[in-house]
Amino acid sequence: MNQVAKYLPILPVLLAYAILFALGHTVSGTWQLVATLLFYCALGQAFNIFLGMTGYVDFGYVAFMGMGTYGMALAITKLAHVPELGAVVIVIGFALALLMATLLSLAVGAVALRLRGAYFAIATIGVNEGFRFLIEGARIWNGAEGMIFTAQLNEILGTERASRLMTYWADVMVLVIAVLAAAVTLFYMRNRVGYALTALREDEDAAKVMGINVTKYKIIAFITSACFAGLVGAASWALKTPYVFPPEVFEIHYTVEAIIIVMLGGAGTLLGPLVGGLIYGISKYYLSIFLPGLQLLVFAPVIIVIIIMFPEGVVGMLRQRTRNTVLGRFIV
């Protein structure tokens, strides 16, 4: 496989996001839906780097999104009074989001990634709740009162630009993050990192025997995935809705949604999170319109059926069917 052909599967990903973006722009009234879909796709794409590629289930994943949200919130509230910075504050916010997500993932990973399978999953549930109560109890970053920074955002950007950021640019940033996460996924898949991760996902003992430093690669996947979660939190939560409350940004519900999206689309595949995000987002959006309050009741059996029919996810199934065909080269 030559260097260009290796990375061709990025094309369908780019195409799908381009169509989504164009749809939101041209058909009036669809931007809200598109924004929701982008959020779920980005969430899936980010989580897939860890869950999909290592096979480890992290139930505390949302905590990294929470870190990202706090990172952006802190940058905006602390730097709003420095007029020279202007919109650079947003860039600093993203950097801080990355840094905080990385630090938390290092701390969690160093301890939890020594555990395997179910033990890892159980350990991570605790991290999420524990961290939330630490912030509330120790009154870190305003504790349970949270932070509201609409005023500071207006001060930095001006009311008009700030409102444009919340309703439009924040979603575009989520789109960019989703594409970046997909690109990193493909890059990993096509390089030594990906081979190591595939080996350890399929059989961790065999991977060790082949001389793969499994802990190192698990931590790489964990940190990468956490960084993207931090960025998603910073863009989709902090910039779109300029406030942060601990119970909301540490809500385990989002982790569960991320797991569903990845499994539905196909864990460890490039297109899986995109497909999963679209299926999940569209179903959730329309179910809440047509069957308000009943969406979970309808959605749960649908997910069960899909998982039984395609245990490797929709894309996993498509990949099996198109193996050794021209189309198969793009379904990765």
Partner 1 sequence: MLNVKRIESGYGAMQVLWQPSIDVKQGTITSLLGPNGVGKSTLLHTIFGSIEPWGGEVYYDGENVTRVPTHKKVEMGIALVPEGKHLFPNMTVYENLSMGAYRKRALADKEESLELVYALFPRLKERTKQLAGSMSGGEQQMVTISRALMTRPKLIMLDEPSQGLAPKLVGEVFDTIQKMRDEIGLTILLIEQNSDASLEAADFVYVMHEGIIKAQGTPDQIKGSTEIREAYLGI
Residue 205 in contact with partner 1, rule: CB under 8 A: yes
Rule CB under 8 A: say whether 206 interacts with partner 1. Answer: yes
Binding of partner 1 by 244 (CB under 8 A): no
Q: Interface with partner 1 includes 32 (CB under 8 A)?
A: no
Instruction: Give the up-direction half-sphere exposure of residue 90: CA atoms within 13 A in the CB hemisphere.
Output: 20
CB of 112 to partner 1, least distance (A): 19
C-beta of 204 vs 257, nearer to partner 1 = 204
- In this complex, which beta carbon is closest to partner 1, that of residue 198 or of residue 241? 198
Cα gap 231→102, rounded to integer Å:
11
Confirm or reject binding of residue 116 to partner 1 (CB under 8 A).
no
Residue 196 interacting with partner 1 (CB under 8 A): yes
Q: In the bound complex, what is the minimum distance in angstroms from residue 173's beta carbon to partner 1?
A: 37
Work out whether 190 is an interface residue with partner 1 (CB under 8 A): no
Report how far residue 98's alpha carbon sits from residue 110's, in angstroms, rounded to the nearest whole number. Answer: 18
Cβ(152)–Cβ(76) under 8 Å? yes
* Distance in angstroms (rounded) separating the CA atoms of residues 272 and 76: 34
DSSP for 96-141? HHHHHHHHHHHHHHHHHTTS-HHHHHHHHHHHHHHHHHHHHHTTGG
Q: Which residue lies nearer to partner 1 by CB, 81 or 114? A: 114
In the complex, the smallest distance separating the C-beta of residue 314 from partner 1, rounded to whole angstroms, is 18
When asked if residue 117 is in the footprint of partner 1 (CB under 8 A), the reply is no
DSSP labels, 234-251: IIIIIITS-EE-HHHHT-
Rounded Cα–Cα distance for residues 56 and 228 (Å):
17
Q: Output the smallest distance, CB 196 to partner 1, in A.
A: 7
Asked if 195 is part of the footprint of partner 1 (rule: CB under 8 A), the reply reads: yes
Q: How is 181-204 classified by DSSP, letter by letter? A: HHHHHHHHHTSHHHHHHHHHHH-H
Q: Between helices 170-189 and 10-26, what is the axis angle to 10°?
A: 170
Q: Which is nearer to partner 1, 197 or 238 (CB)?
A: 197
Binding residues for partner 1 restricted to 60-89, rule: CB under 8 A: none
Q: Does 212 bind partner 1 (CB under 8 A)?
A: yes
Binding range to partner 1, per CB under 8 A, among 69-77, 90-98, 192-200, 295-303: 192-200
- Should residue 318 be labelled a site residue for partner 1 when binding is judged by CB under 8 A? no
91 vs 209, beta carbon nearer partner 1: 209
The answer to whether residue 192 forms part of the interface with partner 1 (CB under 8 A) is: yes
Is residue 97 within the footprint of partner 1 (CB under 8 A)? Answer: no
Segment holding 148, helix H or strand E: strand 147-148
In angstroms, what is the minimal distance from the CB of 227 to partner 1?
25
Six-digit token pair at 3? Answer: 């260097």
* DSSP structure string for 18-49: HHHHHHHHHSTT-HHHHHHHHHHHHHHHHHHH
Give contact residues for partner 1 (rule: CB under 8 A): 192, 195-196, 198-199, 202-203, 205-206, 208-214
